[in-house]
Each structure stands twice: as C-alpha cells, then as structure tokens.
Amino acid sequence: MIYEYIVGGVVLATMLGFVLLYGVKGKKTTRASMEITRNGFVSILNNGICQSEITRSTDVVIVGAGVAGAALAYTLGKEGRQVHVIERDLSEPDRIVGELLQPGGYLKLIELGLEDCVNEIDAQKVFGYALYKDGKDSKLSYPLEKYRADVAGRSFHNGRFIQRLREKAASLPNVRLEQGTVTGLVEEKGTIKGVHYKTKTSQELTAYAPLTIVCDGCFSNLRRSLCDPKVDNPSCFVGLILENCDLPHANHGHVILGDPSPILFYPISSTEIRCLVDVPGQKVPSISNGEMAQYLKSVVAPQVPPELYDAFIAAVDKGNIKSMPNRSMPAAPHPTPGALLMGDAFNMRHPLTGGGMTVALSDIVILRDLLRPLQDLYDASTLCEYLESFYTLRKPVASTINTLAGALYKVFCASPDPARKEMRQACFDYLSLGGVCSTGPVSLLSGLNPRPLNLVFHFFAVAVFGVGRLLLPFPSPKRIWLGARLIYGASCIIFPIIKAEGVRQMFFPVTVPAYHRAPPIH
C-alpha cells in the first residue's frame, strides 16, 4: 500500500515542487617498496630490479599523483602511452578524507585492473550503513547479491591506498613518476603544451606533452585557467581515530543524525575506527587552545553511541585532532586545447556519502575508452573538440552522486524549521522501511545504480512520505501548510543542485551534440 501511495504521489510532488520553488522565486607494503631517488624520481624495487628509464617522448603529462592522478597514470600507461607524472610530495599522505571507497568505485577499480591496490593495506570490507537518530538505529545494506563475493565497499588509510596506486603506476616502464612542484601551464596561442615545474632540488624545468591532465586536488592552483570554479565550503570535518573498540554494526559505516550536523564512524584498519564530526560553517573551534576538545566533549560526545563513548573521549584526550574543509564545486570546464581537468581539481561534492573516488575512477574509465582509438594526440584543437564528449558522458553518474551528496547533507543537518525537521525524520523513517525504500537509495549512494531519475524519485518519495504522515488520519489547515512547506523545502534543496549540474546533461545527455562525437580520423 505504501509503495502505491508513494509512486502515485511522487509525480504530483515533483510538479508541485517546481511550482512552489520557481513560482515563489518569481516572486606502506611488503611485496614492493617505494623510495625517492636523488633526482626525485620514484623507483619500484622488486627483487633488486629498478624501473627502466624512458627513452621515448611523452604523450601525457599528469599533474598530481593522488587517487585520480596515480590511477590515471597506470591506466594510460597500460594503454601504451608514455606518461610523465609530477607530484609535489611523494611521501605517504596523511588525510582524514578519501578513506571510504563505495562498491561502485571498487567495480571501477576492477575494470581498471587496480583492485589489488586495496590489498596489503589492512583495508576493511564495508557492507552498508547504520543510521542513528534520537537513540534509534536502522541498518541499511548494500544490494550486492548479484555481484561476486569480493565486491563490497572498502575503507582504509587514504595514504596507504595512494602509495599502492603510485607503486602500481611506477611499475610500468613507460610511466615516469617525479617529485616536483608545478608552477604553471605552458601556453602557446591558446593551446596548452605542458607545464613548468621545480624539482625537489629547486631546478626549474619544463615538461612538454600533447595532452596535459591536471589532477592536483581540491586546492588546485591550476584549475582557474581551465574551468569556472565556484567552490562552496558548507562545513568542515574534524577527524579522530578511535582505538580498542568495536562498531555496533561490524563492517558498516555509522551515520549519526546529530545536532547540528552528522557524525560518521567507519573502520580504516582492523584496529582503528575513523570518526568524522561535521562542523557547519567555515570556522571551527580552535584545536590548539583546547576549544575543539571542549566542543567534542560537551556537544558531540553525548550523541555518540554508548558502545563508542569511552573510545571517543580517549581519542579526544589523546589530542591527535585534525580538520579538513568540506568543499563542493560543480564541473564547469572551459574546453582548452591540450589540457583536461580530473579529480577534485575538476569536480567536488560534500564527502558525507564517500562518493568522490567513485566519480574519479568512473571518469578515468570514460577517458580511457575515449582515448583508446587515438594513435596520436598532437592535433590539439581536434582532440579538444572530441574530448568535449567526456564532459557529457560523465554527467549521469557524476551528477547523480554529486546531487545525492549535497541533498543528503542538507536533509541530515538539524534545523529549527519544523518543515525541515519533518523532512529529516521522514528520511530516517523512509530508509528504515526496508525493501525498495532502503535498497533504492543505498544503490544510489553506493554507486551501484547511479541514475538521476531514480534519485529524483526517491528524494520526492521521502517528501511525499513525510506529507502523508502529516495528513493522516485527518488533515488540518496547519498540517496541510506544513506539508506544502515540506515539499517546497525539498524542492529548494534539490533543484538548485540539479540546475548547477545541468538539467539537460544530467537527464537527457543523448540530446547534447558532444555525446555523439566520433574519434578523429588520421
């Protein structure tokens, strides 16, 4: 009965949402070890045999060797391209984000031949989420029944994963991985010819290639000449590591719908649990003077599940607290001959749903397939025109994950608005219903079924579910008005995100001419 009600009402809710919104507005590893040589290059030492030198010219320069850059370097190297990767710091990163790879992202790892990079780093399998609100919890499992046994999410230390990706890339004889700081792009008559960079020894050099791919992360210094960056900073994550404790639901991520915003727990090794506390706004309490510790103990700790409370307090007292700004940025590229943006330099979303690496790996698969038929990359203008299809082909998957992340974050945050409170409670209760109400949204979240129409359906199904509860058993003028505000509020959340992503590209990509671009004939 509930499903018939939802299906019948979601279309009406969507139409009403448009009217309300726009009407009112109208008004480290054992098999191989990585080391930096004196010239700043990376060598892989396997049985004493070092990586061979590259003698041929470079096809692709990649700026950055994070998840996107390293995975892309291996992928293009395996395709036979001569790849030169320049990374500012080749030591193991220590970050509090990029630690959860969704099952959809793991499937992309398999497609790229990189699935072994989650081995030997004490990565933990993740099979779903546990959602907490007001002392109640609901277990949401990934729909993995039709996949092979190893397919699941993976959580790990971000730095360990990146080092494995770098090792994998550097193991190819045609991939050159060098430590250096890129200072600018080489441009001639509107075409990017390569990059200027400083080596580890401060030697200033230039690397030339017919294609330069910028993957220098969320703090990119090069993106401004290649896109129109509109970066939003809705909040910060404050990170802790809990030790000597077990999650209430093993091998699951835990999301607490806290006040003022969500709190996350997930395993990153067999003995460690990552805690991420979302702090709204761009300013967070000071870590150095103890304000943050006091905030965590007084505001956050009372909302932590009892099984984790003591370990949480111990982690705060230990003092290894880190913070990281959460950023979102729609993809708004300036197609530029000779250059391309990838990864967080190109497109970001709130990390609440852990979708960033899935988007990056999906983009790499698309780019690999586009470049595969091309023997040479030197016709920059023709290549640029052809690669405009990349921006359209990536949209359905990327925009679904991006929109879900932004919408869920706003729904999960506490609000004094009664309509927003109803939407938050409706979301928790809807997901707790099980069946399609659980597997549908979780398949979107996991990257296993990232379809934009499914996202819109389930988002407004939550809103209709919330309105239905308000109107039963007997509607009153106050409840009808609250229900209308709930639909309007839901529309205000999701439609601006969809507009920023691009309605046509997101829902009707086949109508975009670039979607049908054929490889240039040489």
pLDDT in tens, 131-148: 999 999 999 999 999 999
32 vs 340: which has the higher pLDDT: 340
H or E stretch covering 199 = strand 191-199
Is the full-model pTM beyond 0.85? yes
Residue 521 banded pLDDT, cuts 50, 70, 90: confident
Share of the chain above pLDDT 90, in %: 86
Residue 270 banded pLDDT, cuts 50, 70, 90: very high
Sign of CA dihedral 519, 385, 232, 485: negative
Contact present, 278 and 235 (Cβ < 8 Å):
yes
Residue 28 banded pLDDT, cuts 50, 70, 90: very low
- What secondary structure does DSSP assign to 58-87, as a single string? PSEEEE--SHHHHHHHHHHHHTT--EEEEE
Contact present, 205 and 250 (Cβ < 8 Å):
no
Round to whole Å and give the CA distance between 166 and 68.
10
Residue 294 structure tokens? 């006091």
Query: Is the pLDDT reported for residue 362 higher than 50?
Result: yes
pLDDT at 404: 97
pLDDT digits (tens, 9 = 90+) for 306-324: 999 999 999 999 999 999 9
Contact present, 185 and 175 (Cβ < 8 Å):
no
Tell me, what amino acid is at 494? I
Query: Is the pLDDT reported for residue 25 higher than 70?
Result: no
Domains, the chain, in order of start with CATH, read 60-121+156-231+330-378 (3.50.50.60), 232-327 (3.30.70), 406-505 (no CATH)
Query: Is the pLDDT reported for residue 420 higher than 60?
Result: yes
Residue 353 structure tokens? 């749903």
Question: Cβ neighbours of residue 131 under 8 Å, at least 6 residues apart?
Answer: 137, 138, 139, 140, 255, 257, 428, 431, 432
The arithmetic mean of pLDDT across residues 81-90, rounded, is 98
CA-wise closest residue to 99 among 160, 33, 28 = 160
Contact present, 199 and 179 (Cβ < 8 Å):
yes
pLDDT at 522: 62
Give residue 448's region: left, alpha or beta (phi > 0; psi -120 to 50): alpha
The arithmetic mean of pLDDT across residues 330-341, rounded, is 96
- What secondary structure does DSSP assign to 143-155, as a single string? --TTS-TT-SEEE
First and final CA of the chain: distance in angstroms? 60
User: Is residue 57 packed enough to be buried (19+ CB in 10 Å), middle (13-18) or exposed (0-12)?
Assistant: exposed
Strands (E), 244-351: 253-256, 263-267, 272-280, 322-328, 339-341
The arithmetic mean of pLDDT across residues 287-293, rounded, is 95
Contact present, 212 and 60 (Cβ < 8 Å):
yes
Residue 9 structure tokens? 């009402």
**Which of 18-32, 142-156, 432-446 is least confident?**
18-32
Round to whole Å and give the CA distance between 409 and 413.
6
Average pLDDT of the chain to the nearest whole number: 90
Residue 431 structure tokens? 């997901």
Contact present, 351 and 255 (Cβ < 8 Å):
no
Strand order in the sheet with 232-243: 136-141, 128-133, 253-256, 263-267, 272-280, 232-243, 322-328
C-alpha triplet 444, 148, 139: angle, nearest 5°: 45
